[in-house]
């Protein structure tokens, strides 16, 4: 299983990683600037994220759950504005 994951990571091109990184940052920026999108992301994250085709299921799940650690491992340290959604999600404590 670990070997499969490592092989899959190797097969992802730099361009694909960059497009997915940009999509993650776009979602976070939209959540910070658009209160309606933020509410939709909170209520129905899968519906809110359906237009972001470059995101993987793992990335969508991390965005939906507010997994700051995982997201920052992909995009780097987030500033306060981009972390808005993630802190909102964590404060909801939806388990």
- Per-residue pLDDT tens for 2-60? 555 555 555 778 898 899 999 999 999 999 999 999 999 989 999 999 999 889 999 99
Instruction: Specify the pTM.
Output: 0.79
- Per-residue pLDDT tens for 76-91? 999 999 998 888 777 7
Amino acid 28: pLDDT = 95
**Greatest Cα-to-Cα distance within the chain, rounded to the nearest angstrom:** 42
List C-alpha distances in Å: 68 to 20, 22, 49, 57.
Answer: 16, 16, 17, 16
| Sequence-ordered list of residues with C-beta below 8 angstroms from that of 76, at least 6 positions apart, any chain | none
- Is residue 88 helix, strand or coil? helix
């Amino acid at each position: 299983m670990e070997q499969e994951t490592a092989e899959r990571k190797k097969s992802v091109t730099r361009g694909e990683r960059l497009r997915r990184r940009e999509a993650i940052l776009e979602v976070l920026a939209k959540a910070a600037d658009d209160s309606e999108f933020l509410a939709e992301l909170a209520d129905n994250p899968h519906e809110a994220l359906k237009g972001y085709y470059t995101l993987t299921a793992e990335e969508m799940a991390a965005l939906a759950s507010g997994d700051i650690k995982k997201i920052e491992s992909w995009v780097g340290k987030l500033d306060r504005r981009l972390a808005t959604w993630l802190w909102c999600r964590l404060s909801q404590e939806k388990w």
